[in-house]
Amino acid sequence: MPMELVQTWVLPALLGLGLAAAAGLRAFLPLLLLALAAKFQLFGVDLNEKAAWLGSDVAVITLAIATAVELAADKVPFLDHALSALGTITRPVAAVIAAGSVFAGVDPVIAAVAGVIIGAPTALAFHAAQSGTRVASTATTGGLANPVVSIVEDLLAFATVLLALAAPLLVPLALLALLWLIWRLVKAVRRRVAAGI
C-alpha cells in the first residue's frame, strides 16, 4: 500500500473512527482533545483547512467549558438521562466534525463526506451501547451507580481519544474489545434482573 494512501486515507480514517467512538460516549471531550492536539501540534495532528478553527483559542475555551458542563451534568440523576437523550443528536454531530476534520490532505467536501460516513454511525453505535449500560445500571441499582458508570465512561472516552491520536492502527481492535465488554456487561446485568437478584 503506497505511503501516500496510508497518510491521506487510512490513518485519518482510523483516527476519525476513534474520535467518533469517543464522541458516542461524550460529545465535547473528543473535540476538546483534538483541538488541543491541533493547537499545540501534538501527535502530528493536521486538520483539514475548513476545520482549522478547531485549533483556535476561542474553540479551545468554548470546548473546555462545554466539556466541563457535560461531564458534570452526567453525574447528576435525571440530568444524565436528559443529556443522553440530547446526545442522540449532539454526539453524531460532534463525531462528524471530529472525523471529517482529520482528513487534511483532501478536498473539504470529500473530508466532510468521509466524516459523515465514519462519524455518525460509529457515534450512534457507541451511544446506543452506552444507553444500554445506563438502562442496566438504573434497573439494578435504581440509578445509584450511574455516577460511577459515568466516570468509567469519561475515562473510556479519554483513553479512546488518546489511543486514536497516538496509535490509530490499534483503534479497530480496541473498539471491538470495548463493544464486546459492553455487550457482556449488559447481558450479565439483564440476566441478574431477569433472575430477580
**196 — pLDDT class (breaks 50, 70, 90):** low
Which structural domain range is residue 116 located in? Answer: 3-195
Lowest-confidence pick of 39-48, 74-83, 112-121, 165-174:
74-83
Quote the radius of gyration of the chain (alpha carbons, Å): 17
Give the number of domains in the chain. 1
Q: Is pLDDT at 197 greater than 60 in this prediction?
A: no
pLDDT value of position 104 = 94
**18 — pLDDT class (breaks 50, 70, 90):** very high
Q: Is pLDDT at 134 greater than 90 in this prediction?
A: no
